[in-house]
């Protein structure tokens, strides 16, 4: 299998963490692929018409995207339950995945606002509103922070990837002082070898 990814991509990081936690990361060859919302990458579009990473090419030439589908595929392939714990835990994990992915969607739009949009077209209120999604998501996560420790599933992995991306791109966001329960959990969770190995430089 070939994973098209970038070391700074939080969605690709999610896939890499899942693969490592499932013990199947050695089956995956990593291929760096540039993805940009405006300067679109024709090679990547040939694999994923959306031109986004991560994309996973299988041995038969078929390609899976996006991160949710790839994580579910790896879980099924390796016989894991990271993606689909049973009972109420499943719905909690999948809802947390949606929350973490939503934080990331907002944070990426905020990042593109300065990294991809010409200065004269930038709209600071838009950027603020995208990051506000992370604040309101973190408020909800903080209320349930007691449920996070001791869990390794697609929900906790996705939330950790969202926090890692905020730290990388918005180091002044200051979420730790505002959400101390999440900060305490993240400090512990981030020491897992799969998170250390995939931490963006
Ligand atoms: N829903 C997708 C989102 C993937 C995504 O937004 N990836 C970013 C890089 S982290 C990307 O490819 N951006 C380029 C673009 O959106 O055109 C997933 O879960 O994989």
Of ligand 1's atoms, which has the minimum distance to the CA of residue 51?
Answer: 17
What are the structure tokens assigned to 58, written together?
């299988």
Give CA–CA dist 103/54, Å, rounded.
17
Domains along the chain with CATH numbers: 2-78 (3.40.30.10), 88-192 (1.20.1050.10)
**Mutual angle of helices 88-115 and 124-143, in 10-degree steps:** 160
Q: Ligand 1 centre and the CA of 146: distance in Å?
A: 30
Q: What number is the average pLDDT over the span 154-182?
A: 98
Question: Dihedrals φ, ψ of 57, to 5°?
Answer: -90, 125
Beta bridge partners of 56: 3, 64
pLDDT digits 0-9 by tens, 145-155: 999 999 999 99
Mean model confidence pLDDT for the chain: 96
Q: Which residue has its alpha carbon closest to ligand 1 atom 11? A: 52
Question: Angle 122-125-129 (CA atoms, 0-180°, nearest 5)?
Answer: 120
- Taken as a whole, the chain contains a residue count of 201
What are the structure tokens assigned to 26, written together?
């050695």
Mutate to test the pocket of ligand 1, among 53, 64, 116 (most ligand atoms within 8 A of CB): 53
Of ligand 1's atoms, which has the minimum distance to the CA of residue 68?
Answer: 19
**What does the pLDDT read at residue 83?**
76
Of ligand 1's atoms, which has the minimum distance to the CA of residue 50?
Answer: 17
**What does the pLDDT read at residue 99?**
98
């Amino acid at each position: 299998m070939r994973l098209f990814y970038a070391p700074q991509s939080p969605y690709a990081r999610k896939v890499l963490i899942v693969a490592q936690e499932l013990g199947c990361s050695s089956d995956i060859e990593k291929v760096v692929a540039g993805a940009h919302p405006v300067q679109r990458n024709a090679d990547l579009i040939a694999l994923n018409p959306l031109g986004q990473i991560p994309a996973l090419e299988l041995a038969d030439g078929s390609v899976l995207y996006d991160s949710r589908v790839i994580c579910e595929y790896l879980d099924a392939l390796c016989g894991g339950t990271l993606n689909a714990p049973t009972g109420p835990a499943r719905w909690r994990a999948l809802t947390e995945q949606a929350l973490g992915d939503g934080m990331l969607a907002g944070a990426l739009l905020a990042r593109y606002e300065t990294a991809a949009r010409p200065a004269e077209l930038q709209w600071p209120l838009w950027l603020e509103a995208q990051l506000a999604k992370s604040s309101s998501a973190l408020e909800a996560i903080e209320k349930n922070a007691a449920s996070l420790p001791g869990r390794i599933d697609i929900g906790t992995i996705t939330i950790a990837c969202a926090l890692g991306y905020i730290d990388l791109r918005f180091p002044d966001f200051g979420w730790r002082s505002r959400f101390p329960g999440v900060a305490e959990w993240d400090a512990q969770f981030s020491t897992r070898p799969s998170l250390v190995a995939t931490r963006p430089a």
